[in-house]
Chain A
């Protein structure tokens, strides 16, 4: 599965709208994840997960920055994400099912923050993009 030309353009143009709110979007995504899927908190026993926590904001920022890097390297995602892929496979070892949960929460966040921009076409392109990112990040698991 790879992005078609028009899907790439859609992903990039939506990112342009998101970029200035990256930290807020990342933080809200994580809050939604931990709220709807409390089992995901098992990966963060060392974090203060209260609303507004500095750690939550920093981590949300980090995740969205990585998504932004992926957008900037949309034509060669596999090589751009090699290090992150290794990190997830050998160090973090987050169970693959959680990538879908995080992706879904990001889309819910985008829908809430950009109700008119988040059309069906944008929804499709971003769902597919996140699915591809998740595949690459779990590629080296075994």
Chain B
């Protein structure tokens, strides 16, 4: 089980409390689809994904990005028991969405980069390290129920 120190928790929440879920969520999902175009395979029904501007301007992608990032709020609230917190979502991603868990790692790293653009100097190596720990914890929790 992942253990977060008091400093790591503080680093994570200090950033999280200032995150604009829609803006950061839309950007994160948009960048995922642009930087790793094969991830578009899960979004065939989302409308125009034909170019980077199209993806970033796509309202359905923005909305879905917000949904995904809101779920990450679950992680911030449950840092001490990620596996339990994400059990249901893990089953969903396996049984209904059929998402390769590798994608959770890609998304996590894209989120870290988006946070870095938003928070710049505040996103120090130590803050980044706490967030890397969180996103890999979430990725593992989301793949825990796969069968």
Q: Hey, which bits of chain A sit against chain B, CB under 8 A?
A: 28, 31-32, 34-37, 104, 107-109, 111-113, 115, 118, 120-121, 123-124, 127
Contacts and interface: CB of A to CB of B under 8 A. Distances in A.
Contact of A35 (B30, B31, B118, B128): B128
A112 B117 contact: yes
Contacts of A31: 125
Interface of B: 27, 30-31, 34-35, 52, 55-56, 109, 112-114, 116-121, 123, 125-126, 128-129, 132
B116 A112 contact: yes
Contacts of A107: 113
Contacts of A35: 125-126, 128-129
Contacts of B121: 112
A36 B128 CA distance: 7
B43 to A, nearest CB: 15
A120 B31 CA distance: 6
A124 B114 CA distance: 13
A109 B121 CA distance: 10
Contact of B132 (A36, A112, A120): A36
Given A35-B125, A36-B129, A111 B116 contact: yes
Given A32-B128, A35-B129, A108-B112, A120 B35 contact: yes
